[in-house]
Structure 1
Amino acid sequence: MYGLQASKQLSQNFLLNLHVTDKIVRVCGDISNKTVIEIGPGPGCLTRSILQANPKRLIVVEKDERFMPALQNLQQSVDDGKMHIVQGDILKVDQFKLVDHFLEKDEKVLKNSDELANVVFIGNLPFGIATPLLINWLKDCANGTGAFAFGKKIPMVLMFQKEVGLRMSAKNSTKEFGRLSVSSQSVCDVEHMFVVNAKSFVPAPKVDASVMRLIPKTTPLIDNSLVQFEDLEQFCRIIFNGKRKQLNTNLSSYFSPKQCAYIAAGAVEGGSKNMDSVNAVLSQRSQDLTVEEITSMARRFVRLRESDPAIKDLLKRA
């Protein structure tokens, strides 16, 4: 398209199948009153499908300057003010300023509101940046920062490698369940929408892709007053260091038996008073624990870490 070749360095694979791009946009629902932010539009195939759905406005963020002429042609084909082009790396763009600049005052939902925000993220994400970008968004969502300062419930319809999508939505006791599952599901309701065959891309990648929909939870499983998103990430690195190992094995690399029991008691009704249940939790494989159990234990993990400088110092390598 436009005589351009995909850049391997930028993990580019063009999605040129309009049937697929239209289907992705339909996952977003009615966007006629929404500001849609598309990440990595490339030559603009998904962009066309978004414009056909008539959003209130469309902001595209593209790093590769080679695509500017194609995107400018699309911009000129719609009403003034409908489409805006931001050339930059989404991992470096100040997303608070981005949203603040384009949204009118009456479109800005308070970050603690339970309403869906007037913003939608959508994108065929370059595989090389997809997971780091997702983690940044989950962190911002949990903290009410970045774009999520204007409404914590910003829907995200994003494409990932199929394997990554399956990990995001995985249930416990499956081989895909792990850190990314907990990080995603503690903050958002995650839904695997459909698979996109690798042949739909140019050039075709070696793996299929998954379209995922993430809707931030009204009440996240982590409470910023007790557990920050970064705390949960650290705890998950510890317990999923060997996800098929018993929880006790992973915890004991950093904690005494008594401390391990204290953390595990977070997943038990009645806490430390029910030692049989605590021992049962410790004997489980980490991948068999539920997201709710893990986030509950993370609270005790944080209390223990903050109460003991020696543990805090030890955990710097976790």
Structure 2
Amino acid sequence: MAASGKLGTFRLPPLPTIREIIKLFGLRAMKQLSQNFLLDLRLTDKIVRKAGSLADAYVYEVGPGPGGITRSILNADIAELLVVEKDTRFIPGLQQMLSDAAPGKLRIVHGDVLTYKIEKAFPDRVRRQWEDDPPNVHIIGNLPFSVSTPLIIKWLENVSLKDGPFVYGRTKMTLTFQKEVAERLVATTGSKQRSRLSIMAQHLCNVKHLFTIPGKAFVPKPEVDVGVVHFTPLIEPKIKQPFKLVEKVVQNVFQFRRKYCHRGLGMLFPEAQRLESTGRLLQLADIDPTLRPTHLSLMHFQSLCAVYRKMCDEDPQLFAYNFREELKQKKRKGSEKNDTESYEF
């Protein structure tokens, strides 16, 4: 180590480059796992910088891979970095980084981010009340495309329940997505990209598309560009209903995104009562049935969910209804009828 200054301050040796890590451990991205490495330190530094001040922060990095963003986080004067990596091939390289990083800064867990329990990973002293400013806890990750959507839906549900990574308060997230997914997450009312993700994310979080990384910056080069998106949970959700209820209404509306909104909303109700119940829902929610799904605002969805909640309270079996199951049963009965007829003489 080289000393500097009169007091003999020591500098740690530079971390090995990500290319050196990849070469040393013979790593390569696996297409079937939708893995893409980001090797440009300027871009990984930019992701970390855009996440906000990380001074003395506790950071949870998901899917670190060979450690591109990991390295930039470690250079950000953090308190501790916890990385969770499912692919065992990357663990030795991360451990190499651990040996070269400041002692006590990096903690490596071999696990799956979809199931990993982070509730007790960080000290209780970092917790904040939900109404307070966000805690000094951050989630950062360059997510494999295959898990990015189910993971953000899982975390949005955690936001609504104030559990998982959000037991610490309104934990901020800075994550990568396919550019198309990033555009859906921030799409405004009337936009072509407006989707289920738009509503589910924006009613719970302040969502910002920070910048776009060209696909050529990744190894191997994906067929799409990548968007970096920042989430800050809201103190009060825009739709004040249980997550699963909101999700069901939104999913049904957007499954027929090119049709009028009444088409998808009708699928919330059994066929025998569909026409009457859909009309009642739209009337009580004061929604024009000829609006397209992309033109429904958060306030529209708030009204729809509130009325649907009352209808479910009146009919306890309604929320469990799934039109796809009804369709399967009809097909099954039709098949059984055909089988019976084929044996008649």
Same fold, TM-score > 0.5, yes or no: yes
2:193 aligned residue (176, 180, 203): 176
- How big is the shift at 1:302? 1.8
Q: Which amino acid aligns with 2:41?
A: L
- How big is the shift at 1:266? 5.8
- Paired with 2:30 and 2:80, the residues of 1 have a C-alpha distance of 28
3-state SS of the aligned residue for 1:314?
A: coil
Q: Is the 8 A contact 1:193 1:212 kept in 2?
A: yes
Q: 1:293 maps to which residue?
A: 300
- How big is the shift at 1:66? 1.1
Q: Is the 8 A contact 2:64 2:70 kept in 1?
A: yes
- Paired with 2:111 and 2:323, the residues of 1 have a C-alpha distance of 33
TM-score, with normalisation over the residues of structure 2?
Answer: 0.82
1:308 aligned residue (304, 311, 315): 315
Q: Which has the larger radius of gyration?
A: 2
- Paired with 2:87 and 2:282, the residues of 1 have a C-alpha distance of 48
- Paired with 1:135 and 1:202, the residues of 2 have a C-alpha distance of 27
Q: 2:260 maps to which residue?
A: 246
Distance change in 2, residues 1:45/1:296 (3 Å): same
1:211 aligned residue (228, 242, 247): 228
Q: Which amino acid aligns with 2:55?
A: S
**Matched positions, count:** 298
- Paired with 1:114 and 1:228, the residues of 2 have a C-alpha distance of 22
- Paired with 1:174 and 1:49, the residues of 2 have a C-alpha distance of 35
Q: Which amino acid aligns with 1:239?
A: V
- Paired with 2:27 and 2:188, the residues of 1 have a C-alpha distance of 40
3-state SS of the aligned residue for 1:140?
A: helix
- Larger relative contact order (CA 8 Å, sep ≥ 6): 1
- Paired with 2:321 and 2:69, the residues of 1 have a C-alpha distance of 47
Q: 1:32 maps to which residue?
A: 55
1:124 aligned residue (134, 142, 148): 142
2:247 aligned residue (223, 233, 236): 233
Which segments of 5 or more consecutive residues in structure 1 lack a partner in the other structure? Answer: 269-277
TM-score, with normalisation over the residues of structure 1?
Answer: 0.88
- Paired with 1:18 and 1:292, the residues of 2 have a C-alpha distance of 42
Q: 1:284 maps to which residue?
A: 291
Q: Is the 8 A contact 1:265 1:297 kept in 2?
A: no
Runs of 4+ deviating beyond 6 Å: none
- Paired with 2:199 and 2:147, the residues of 1 have a C-alpha distance of 19
Q: Is the 8 A contact 1:36 1:59 kept in 2?
A: yes
- Paired with 1:53 and 1:309, the residues of 2 have a C-alpha distance of 52
Q: 1:108 maps to which residue?
A: 127
Which segments of 5 or more consecutive residues in structure 2 lack a partner in the other structure? Answer: 1-21, 326-345
1:95 aligns with 2:135: no
- How big is the shift at 1:303? 1.7
Q: 2:214 maps to which residue?
A: 197
- Paired with 2:149 and 2:317, the residues of 1 have a C-alpha distance of 32
Q: Is the 8 A contact 1:120 1:155 kept in 2?
A: yes
- How big is the shift at 1:249? 2.4
1:160 aligns with 2:177: yes
2:109 aligned residue (62, 71, 86): 86
Render the CA deviation track for 1:201-230: whole Å, top value 9, x for unaligned. 00001111100011111211132xxx2111
- How big is the shift at 1:296? 2.5
Q: 1:273 maps to which residue?
A: none
Q: Which amino acid aligns with 2:126?
A: E
Q: Which amino acid aligns with 1:107?
A: V
1:134 aligns with 2:152: yes
- Paired with 2:283 and 2:78, the residues of 1 have a C-alpha distance of 49
3-state SS of the aligned residue for 2:34?
A: coil
Cα RMSD for the two superposed structures: 1.8
Distance change in 2, residues 1:23/1:118 (3 Å): same
- How big is the shift at 1:93? 1.0
Q: Percent identity?
A: 37
Q: Is the 8 A contact 1:266 1:299 kept in 2?
A: no
Render the CA deviation track for 1:179-204: whole Å, top value 9, x for unaligned. 11101111111111111100000000
